[in-house]
Amino acid sequence: MPHRDYVFFYLNGEAIHASGEELFLNLTDFLRLRKGLSGTKVVCAEGDCGACTVLRAFPKPGDRRQPSFEAINACIVRVAQMDASSLVTIEGLRRLAPVSELHPIQEAMVRCHGAQCGFCTPGFVMSLAAALEKGPLLEAQSVKNKLTGNLCRCTGYQPIIDAALSVDASKASRAASVYLTSPMLAMLRKVQKLGVYGGTKEVRFEAPATQAELRRLRKKFPKATLLAAGTDLGVAANKGRFAARHFLSLHLLAPLYKIKASGRALHFGARVTLSEFRQALEGTPSLGEFFNVFASPQIKNFATVAGNVANASPIADAPPFLLALDAELEIFSPRKASLRKIPIKDFYLAYKETDLREGELIWAISLKLPTPSERFSFAKISQRRDLDISCVNVGFFFRPSAKNASRPSALRLAVGGVGPTPLRLLQTEAFLMKEGLNARTCKEALSRAQAEIKPLSDLRGSSAYRRLVTQNLLEKFLRSLPQEESLGAGQL
């Protein structure tokens, strides 16, 4: 099988071949220490502050469309993960600016006094540069949404927002015109066809480019650590809580990038990012809102939905959302020719334990989007609105029966943060399905729900607080549903 033992990417237009121990360097260390590109800063090293923001374009294997440049956090990824990409750092912006001038974003930051100590500034500039790739920056709220992954501790945000809104977009060249020219794109597509077998004696990095190769590797090394975007793994590694001896990256497998939408059915592969999932849900407004409170643009542009599901954190945000939509997981098994399918409600077995058997991995996820007559609600309670981990999160779904709107023909009540796994309140659901919705049954449902959860106390919230939050969110949802008129929702 032809393969390579290096990863290949462009860095500000320079062709980089990295191999051996270099594969496992933090991208920020590689940029700052090996390449002398110290404009990219490191503050938190956890993906939280955005000081390390760089732009990345990655042509998806099997997809002929031109990729866009997106902001990502360089501090939580390793060099190997940049394979087959084009990267632009703050130093690279110079070539997108008019000759011998600052980039229009930098010029606006100076003019509007958008920096004091300046440590966060390259990160802000890069996030705004990513936003500018999609079009002019016109609205304050949209600018704020683009900057939820960037923190500034001294300037205050208003001058930065003012700077963003005053940028003269016509003066900046698009990153692709310099950093993803046709020959560069062709080169990246060429290297993607070859799997990677690299690393050192101590740590291996492998990335199969075909399903047959994946099968072979998974059979031989069923315990190798699967790497999607590595946003969970990268933070754990930076904190010294995780080290692997063998990585198997899924980034070269074309089927994992596919999104198929047909009517209400949506089917997407395990390498689909949170941002791409969001785009796929754009036509269903109540679903898209979920992403406003999910991580930051930098994380959403890189992290996968499947990684969020597989990580099996009881407070991950995708599971309650997918549980409420009764999503189905397609599981790749190295020993079987066909994919195994399981409902996500059967996936979580115990704390951080899933139904994945030896060598298996999530291949794809499918779900059905709600119709206008169905109700769907997602809510996340955290200490901070943006870029914070959930204390409790819920996904609720209700479909009225054709004859009686207050009687559910389907009801799914999913909650995270109240037990060792994300879970469905199956007994409460069964009770309401049988008894219908009225003030008495809804009240009873609230107390039955309490019997189904076992929240712990931790720094994000006490057990009592989590119980109260779950009750309030469920009550709010039940109140929003049609109920038997004789009793009325107001009596709940």
Positions in the binding site for ligand FAD (CB under 6 A): 47-48, 76, 225-233, 235, 270, 294-295, 299, 303-304, 306-308, 310-311, 316-317, 361-362, 387
Is 1:213 a contact under the CB 8 Å cutoff?
yes
Shortest Å distance, C-beta 481 to ligand FAD = 27
| Contact partner at residue 301 from ligand FAD, ligand FES, none, CB < 5 to 8 Å by partner kind | none
- Tell the smallest beta-carbon distance from residue 157 to ligand FAD (Å): 18
Of 61 and 230, the one with the shorter C-beta distance to ligand FES is: 230
Q: Are 41 and 48 in contact (CB under 8 A)?
A: no
* Partner from ligand FES, ligand FAD, none binding residue 107, C-beta < 5-8 Å depending on class: none
| Contact partner, 153, from ligand FES, ligand FAD, none, Cβ < 5-8 Å per class | ligand FES
Give me Rg for the CA atoms of the chain.
24
Q: Which does 119 bind (CB under 5 to 8 A by kind): ligand FAD, ligand FES, none?
A: ligand FES
3-state secondary structure 318-385: HHHHHHHCCCEEEEECCCCCCCEEEEHHHCEEECCEECCCCCCEEEEEEEECCCCCCEEEEEEECCCC
Q: Which is nearer to ligand FES, 116 or 173 (CB)?
A: 116
Residue with tokens 């720094």: 459
In whole angstroms, how close is the CB of 416 to ligand FAD at the nearest point? 9
- Of 48 and 83, the one with the shorter C-beta distance to ligand FAD is 48
Whole-angstrom Cα distance, residue 333 to residue 347? 15
Q: How many residues does this entry show for the chain?
A: 492
Least distance in angstroms from the C-beta of 326 to ligand FAD: 19
Nearer to ligand FAD, 34 or 335 (CB): 335
User: Quick check: helix, strand or coil at residue 403?
Assistant: coil
Tokens 């599981």, residue located: 331
Partner touching 306 among ligand FAD, ligand FES, none, CB below 5 to 8 Å by kind: ligand FAD
- The listed partner (ligand FAD, ligand FES, none) that binds 229, CB under 5 to 8 Å by sort, is ligand FAD
Is the CB of residue 474 less than 8 Å from the CB of residue 480? Answer: no
Among the listed residues 367, 353, 368, the one whose alpha carbon sits nearest the alpha carbon of residue 419: 353
For ligand FAD, the closer of residues 270 and 469 by Cβ is 270
Q: How far is the CB of 303 from ligand FAD (least distance, A)?
A: 4
Measured in degrees and rounded to the nearest 5, phi and psi for residue 88 equal -130, 130
Report the residue number, 34 or 239, with the smaller CB distance to ligand FAD. 239
For the record, the structure tokens of 322 come out as 């997918």
CB 133 within 8 A of CB 174: yes
Distance CA 179, CA 418 (A): 47
- Closest approach of ligand FAD to the CB of residue 156, in Å: 22
- CA distances, 462 to each of 37, 150, 385, 422, 469 (Å): 44, 29, 19, 17, 11
By beta-carbon proximity to ligand FES, the closer residue of 149 and 417 is: 149
Reported as type and span, the H/E element at residue 295 is none
What is the closest distance, in whole angstroms, from the C-beta atom of residue 160 to ligand FES in the complex? Answer: 8
Interface contacts to ligand FES, rule CB under 6 A = 42-45, 47-52, 73, 75, 115-121, 152-155
Least separation, in Å, of the C-beta of 317 and ligand FAD?
A: 4
Cβ nearer to ligand FES, comparing 90 with 224: 90
